[in-house]
Structure formats: C-alpha cells, structure tokens
Structure 1
Amino acid sequence: MKTTKILIIIIALAGIFATACDELLGDLLKFNSEWFSVEFTIEPSDEVGDLVFSTEEFEANLDSVLDANGVDRENIASAKLSDAKISILTDGCNFDPVESVELLIETPGLGSTRIAWLDSIPDGVTMIELELNMDDLQAYLLETQFKVTAAGTLSEKVDKTVELVADIRWIIRGDLTP
C-alpha cells in the first residue's frame, strides 16, 4: 500500500515536471522579430470617406531573424503580432483628418486579412498604437512575397501630402520537433 502511494506520487511529480519543462522550452523558443516598417502617404484630397492610402509589396525575409534565434522555417509553430503603430513623419501634421485606419496583409494564395486597426483616433495625436489581430498569421510570413495595405477613413479634406510610417513587430514561437 505504501509502495503504491509512493509510486503514484512519483508518477504525478514526473507529469508536472514534464509539463513545466515543455512550457519553459516553448518560452525559450519565443522571440520578437525586428521592427518591420511600411512607409505610406496620404495625398491631398477633396474626398472624404474610405480610401486606400498605399499598397506595398515585400519579399519575405525571415531567415536572418530565425537564424539568430536558432529556428528553421519548418519549425515555426506560430507567428502573431506583438506591436503595431503608425507615426506621422510630416512636420505640423496630426491624425485629425483620419477617422479610422487599418493595415491588411495579402498573398495570392491566402487572400487578404486585417492585421491591425484603430476605429477611433483621438484628436491631436501624431502616433497611434493599433489594435491587433491575435490570429496565428505564420502562413503569411512563410510566403515568399506579400503585400501590406494601409487604408482608412478620412473625416475631412486633406490639403497637403502627409508622410506616415507603420511599424509592425511579430512574436514568433519555434517548435522543438522538426
């Protein structure tokens, strides 16, 4: 009877330690990517309403980030957004004419999905932090090319060119098994 209790305790402790080790190793293979920047422009416009500000095509180049963290492309378990912000680069401008903004990612095989957005922008600000799509978006990052589109809704006319930059950072989790 005493031996059975000791055996049950040993098995239970082994299970707890095994689970804790997997979580710890999973956290060791979790890292942030470098900041990925997309510059775009809001051109002068007499129109208000929904507009596409810019669509940029990019070559996916995760290899240097993955190599630095000891993870192969085949071992990426997930890729989710960790941060997304947009800053105005043009002096004297702010987000007042912009009612809402969104960033979308697109590939020919996967289509388009909204990755970050802000539906209500405070007055007078020159930098906004966006709400994030928390889905696993690794399939987009594993493509060789993808497009990022910046779109939004103007609530008033824009009388001069406004330069902006969207900065995006991913949190990537590697898998232990190939």
Structure 2
Amino acid sequence: MQHDYNDLIYIFNQCFEQAYNTRLVKGGDEPIYLPANEHVPYHAIYFARGFYSSGLHEIAHWLVAGEARRQLEDFGYWYEPDGRSPARQREFEKVEIKPQAIEWILSEAAGLRFFASHDNINGEPGDAAPFKQAVYEQVKTYAEKGLPKRAEQMRKALCAFYGTDDKIELSKFDVTRI
C-alpha cells in the first residue's frame, strides 16, 4: 500500500482545518507545532521532510494536547536533543506513551507498520522493552475504553481512506514487532 504524505495532509486538513483552525504542513528537518500568530493565521503542525510516519507522530501529539497546550509552541513540552542519558531518556519516554499509542493505532488504520520511536540514536536508550510494553498497554486501554474524540475522528478518516477495518483489533498489535 502506498503512503503519500499529501494524502495524510488532505485527510488531516479535511478533519480539522475548519473546526480547529489547524493544518498539517510538510516541514524541514525538524518537526514543530506552531500556534497561530500575527503572521500566520492558523495553527500549523510541521512534520519532518514529508515522511508519512513523522506526520502521524506529530498528529498524535496534537491529538493528545488539550486546548491550552495547543496555544503553546510545541505544546509547551521540553525537548532535549538526541544524546540523552538513560535517566533523561526515561523522562522523555513518559511523555511519549500516549502519543505513540495513538500513532500506533493511526498507523494500523492507515495500513502502515509502526515502529516505536526512542529518538535517542546517539544517547544511551537503555532497555526499550518497558517503554514498548507501556505503549502497548496504552493501546489496550484505548481499545477497551475508546480513543479521545479527535483521535477517533482521525482513526475513522484513515480507515475510510485506506479501506482498513474500522475497529481497533488488539490481535493486530504485537509489542514484539515495534
């Protein structure tokens, strides 16, 4: 199945541009979320270099962010670049569990393989298994209790576009493959 970033932009913008004044935009080397300002009248989610999976990841962060956080650059999160110590990596992973669980669900809806992101190539990521398990447990929670409203809207739109099953089927989520 082909995954063109232009399709992802179209799907996201169809779902959220009017209701939330937010657009998904192909960006440069680094993704960033910028709220509307005096120069740009809409909120913009910039994803890295047209990579489809980067777009899904950044969308997932937007879907997790509440209204107040969506008024802040990069949702007000701290970001320490690649090269984090094991302790800082654990802190990074704590804020990544929900977004990556949603990203995994969206990836499945789009028929795209998901890989957990540790985003610490030059650092000491340590044992990734607990993080992957935590992401999986969050997927299970969403499967049992439902996704937040905007995340469910995006999931359904991806299912419709790609012709995938319109349900979260836990048997399709294998923690050993991420």
What TM-score, normalized by structure 1, do the two folds share? 0.23
| The structure with more strand, counted as a fraction of residues | 1
Structure number with greater Rg is 1
What TM-score, normalized by structure 2, do the two folds share? 0.23
